[in-house]
Every structure is written in structure tokens, then in C-alpha cells.
Structure 1
């Protein structure tokens, strides 16, 4: 059932707009030592919350976040394109060209911190309907104490480039990451290797 359930979950996630979907285990992220070194060098700046003992423990071990965790669903959703962005729905092409200033592609359209969690919740509802009951879970989209690029690489979504971004062979780094920690055994995907 694990393999067919994993396939069904991936299909549902893709239906909800996640182009990239993979599964990994809740093992310690392979780059945790690099993260610790980054913190010891003070690279977190004023973001002191990153270096608290509690946050470090959670980043080192997903089971500190969800003790029942058996699998992690890693997901990637492409940034909205300027042509489809709500920010330009009522703006003529000439006005688009004359605008000054540049806005990062991920910031076009609705706030992904609001859009993605709603879709993650829909995936959890789907999973619980498939298994016939509640499944312990926790989801994040760049807001939780996890090393999401490591998880995504381990789930086969891409590789971590020299720029430290996760890179997919055809999408580059133009996608948003999200994760769902699940108290459910699912067959993990192979890590992405270059």
C-alpha cells in the first residue's frame, strides 16, 4: 500500500499545483554540520532565533518537531509568472514596460505564506481520507525549524548548488519549497545526485 499511496499523494499534490513532489526520511539533514558552522561564524546576523538550542535541535532532528514522523513530503511550486500575476491584471503591456523598480519573482501575486499552507492542508486532508483516519503531521513553507533544501535534495527534487539554492534541472531555482512531516510510512524517493 505504501507505494500506491505514495503515488496517489504525489498525483494529488501535482493536481494542487506542486510541480515537484518527493518523499524522504526524517533522518538528520546531511548539511547540518555546515549549518552549525554558519551559525558559529555569526552569519545569522540579527536573526538570533536561528541559533537557540531549541531551534538547533529541531533542525538537527525532524523527530524533535514531530516525534511520530516516519516520512517527509517535500514539494516545490513554481513562482508565479509576471504575465499571470494579479499585480498586473489590469495594467496594459505598455505600462508594464514603463514601470520602474524590480520585484523578485516569488513576490508576484498572492503571498505564498498564505497560498501554500492552504494547499498543504488540502494534501493532509486527502492523505487522511486515503488512510481512513488522522495522521500526525506538521507542515512548513520556509517558516519552520527545518533545513528544507536538504530535505528536498534527499527527496529527489534537485541538487544544492554553489549558491546554496536548490536547483532543479528544468526549473532552475525558480520555485518555492514546502514540506509536510507525516506520521506515516511512505517509500522514500532516491536523493538527487549530479
Structure 2
């Protein structure tokens, strides 16, 4: 039975659309959305209106003014753009927010030669995986409601404050680490949205509290959490190893530890995750589906071409920082672990890598490990990039003093 009409000539007459919607309450639409979303594998589902996200927009403005966005140009866009769903789809009337656990389990102990990968990136690229399900959900909604739905589906890929939309849709509350926390399952979940031109009864905003807990603030190695819910991206290990396209500042490199891609520390210590984290039921997010919990440092450092990089990591989130960015991170991990078995690979980077970013961080790692003074000296003599040459000179003095 057709529950909702759209697009026919009759709907152009004043009052017809409103009458149809009155006959079939928006509450019934929400029930259909909830049932179909859960059947599609989403553990969390909520609805909010497509009105601007005023609170999120104001928080963003203050964060931008404090200069905490780093090099993320997309996060320096006007708050009015990022906080208004209708800037993405003019016909949008409701935002369906969805959550799906990506939690693959606890990190095993570092095998000794590994660079740690944040849990969300162990498997396949969540953008692609979730978007396919969103398109399927839209088709099922159209079939169930008997109408064509104008919709836009996305996850972490458009200029919208998705966490703010999800909070207003009831999926959780903002923790002190700025993650959205669901009281029943913690914060290890992806957020996705469907903007639709349907009037759907909204959920109440998410509520909750961290109480007196400050574990995430205390655990962050770089002090990136400046206040409850306020993270300075310029200090965040996730930003430094993924979104950052330049060097990792020398003062922060030792604090990166063994993280080669992202960081989970503020989530690992969260009591909600320690008690409530649910292992993902989506096989695409398992360790077996992608790169897994650790990268072998020496193997990654041997990648010299973009083609080889794509062959190795295509279809996973690990392509985000690019080849040079990922090798930069692995150089830092090698230096922090004093990984002597990575020295040949680091020397190869020093001699042959086409990226000054990689050569400079390889020099730093060799300086931390020691024993490669001759290679550093020769490389410094040959180097034409000023920043890179300076890194080699500093590494040589470090290795000599060490």
C-alpha cells in the first residue's frame, strides 16, 4: 500500500502533501526506519530534523577561532555551512543518523616490529562498506513506504557536523575526548547519515555524562584534550599520523609511540568502552578483512612507488595519509622502538625514497637508533632539500652524541 506520495501532478496542489502526511503520521515512518535500519545491521538509529545544528555550529566556531583545526581545510569552512544539512540537500526534511560498531577486539601485544593501527582501520574502508548498505536501506524504505525518496547517503565524507547531528538524533552524548559515546555500547562506532525529504518524527537528543572521570585527558600523551570536549588537532596523534601532510614536529615524535596510523588511547581507557564495547558483527571490519592491528615496519618502509602502495592498501583506510605519510609514520615508530632490524629499510629510504618527507623522518629514526653515521653523513652531503638536510644533520649529531 502506498503510504506516501511524491512527484505526481496532484502533489503540486496546495495542501495535498500535508494531508497525506497527516493521514500517515511521521511516527509510523520512524518505526519503519528503525526496523529496516536494524535489519540492515545498524545497531543505533535515530532521527532529527534537517534544521541547522546551532549548538554544534557554535562549538565549531570557537574551535576554529582557537586555531585547533591544523591543516584540515575542510574543517575551516564556515560553521554556517558545516552545521546546516540543507546546504547538502535543499529538499531535506529529516536526518536519519545511524551507528554501527567497528570494534574488532583488543590490540594484541606488539610483536616487536609492528606499527599499531587504530581499531577502526583494521578492516576495509568504512566509507565504501557503509555507503553500500545506506543505498540498500534507501531502496528498502522506498519499497516499504511506496514512494520515491530524495536522499543523500554518506559517512564521514561531506561538510556536515555528523556527530552533532547524531547527538541530536539520540545516538549518544559528547565525551570529554569529544567522541560521541552511547551509554549502551561506548564510542567504537561509525556514524552514517541519510538526508531524506520525508517528515519523520525526531528522537530526543542523546544524554549522558562522563561524571568525574578524566581518564582520557590524563592518558593522552600529547595533552591534545585541552578541555572537556575540546581536542587540539595539532597535538592529536590521529591527526598527526593521518590528516597531517607535513612533518611530525620533532618534539611530538617520541610521544607518538608505536602508532603508525591513528590512535585509540583516549577510547581504550574510557569506562564505557571497557564495559560496553560490542564486537562488530560486520565481517568487513575484522582484522582478517584488511591490514589488521599492526603493520610490519620494514615491509612498509620498502614501498617506493604509488602503484605499489595502492596494491598493498587499496580498499582500506590506510590510503588516507598517502604513501609518504604512512612511511613517515613508520619511520617515527621505528625510531621510537629503536628497531635495529629496520635499519636497512631506513637506509634505503635515506638513499632512494623520492619524498623529502620520508627521507627526513628516516634520518631522524636512524639518529634515534644509532650506528648509521656514515650513511647519514653521505646523505646530508647529497641532499638538496633544506628541511631534509637539516633533519639529517640533526640526526647525525644525535647519533654521534649517542
TM-score by length of 2: 0.43
1:135 alignment counterpart = 149
1:31 Cα deviation (Å)? 2.0
| Runs of 4 or more consecutive aligned structure 1 residues displaced over 3 Å after TM superposition | 96-101
User: What is the alpha-carbon distance in structure 2 between the residues aligned to residue 80 and residue 16 of structure 1?
Assistant: 18
1:97 Cα deviation (Å)? 5.5
Over the aligned positions, Cα root-mean-square deviation in angstroms equals: 1.8
1:26 alignment counterpart = 50
User: What is the alpha-carbon distance in structure 2 between the residues aligned to residue 60 and residue 109 of structure 1?
Assistant: 30
- The alignment status of 1:11 with 2:11, answered yes or no, reads no
User: What is the alpha-carbon distance in structure 1 between the residues aligned to residue 30 and residue 181 of structure 2?
Assistant: 23
Encode CA deviations 1:129-155: one digit per residue, 9 max, x unaligned. 123232111122111111111111111
1:157 alignment counterpart = 171
Deviates more, 1:128-137 or 1:6-15: 128-137
2:115 alignment counterpart = 101
2:64 alignment counterpart = 39
User: What is the alpha-carbon distance in structure 1 between the residues aligned to residue 110 and residue 164 of structure 2?
Assistant: 40
User: What is the alpha-carbon distance in structure 1 between the residues aligned to residue 188 and residue 199 of structure 2?
Assistant: 30
CA contact (8 A) 1:80 1:108 kept: no
Q: Which runs of 5+ in 2 are unaligned?
A: 1-23, 209-402
2:98 alignment counterpart = 75
1:177 alignment counterpart = 191
Encode CA deviations 1:27-86: one digit per residue, 9 max, x unaligned. 221221110111122221112233234xx4321311111111111000100014249xxx
1:170 Cα deviation (Å)? 2.2
2:307 alignment counterpart = none
User: What is the alpha-carbon distance in structure 2 between the residues aligned to residue 19 and residue 128 of structure 1?
Assistant: 21
1:89 alignment counterpart = none
User: What is the alpha-carbon distance in structure 2 between the residues aligned to residue 98 and residue 42 of structure 1?
Assistant: 35
User: What is the alpha-carbon distance in structure 1 between the residues aligned to residue 140 and residue 120 of structure 2?
Assistant: 27
Q: Which runs of 5+ in 1 are unaligned?
A: 84-95
Q: How many residues align?
A: 180
CA contact (8 A) 2:29 2:201 kept: no
User: What is the alpha-carbon distance in structure 2 between the residues aligned to residue 185 and residue 61 of structure 1?
Assistant: 17
User: What is the alpha-carbon distance in structure 1 between the residues aligned to residue 206 and residue 110 of structure 2?
Assistant: 41
Whose Rg is larger?
A: 2
User: What is the alpha-carbon distance in structure 1 between the residues aligned to residue 94 and residue 202 of structure 2?
Assistant: 7
CA contact (8 A) 2:174 2:180 kept: yes
Evaluate the alpha carbon distance shift between residue 102 and residue 68 of structure 1 in structure 2; reply closer, same or farther with a 3 A threshold: same
User: What is the alpha-carbon distance in structure 2 between the residues aligned to residue 52 and residue 8 of structure 1?
Assistant: 35
- Secondary structure of 1:156 counterpart: coil
Whichever structure has more helix as a proportion of its residues is 2
2:277 alignment counterpart = none
CA contact (8 A) 2:154 2:194 kept: yes
Using CA pairs under 8 Å that are at least 6 residues apart, name the structure with larger relative contact order, 1 or 2: 1
1:19 Cα deviation (Å)? 0.3
- Secondary structure of 2:116 counterpart: coil
CA contact (8 A) 1:80 1:109 kept: no
TM-score by length of 1: 0.85
1:122 Cα deviation (Å)? 0.8
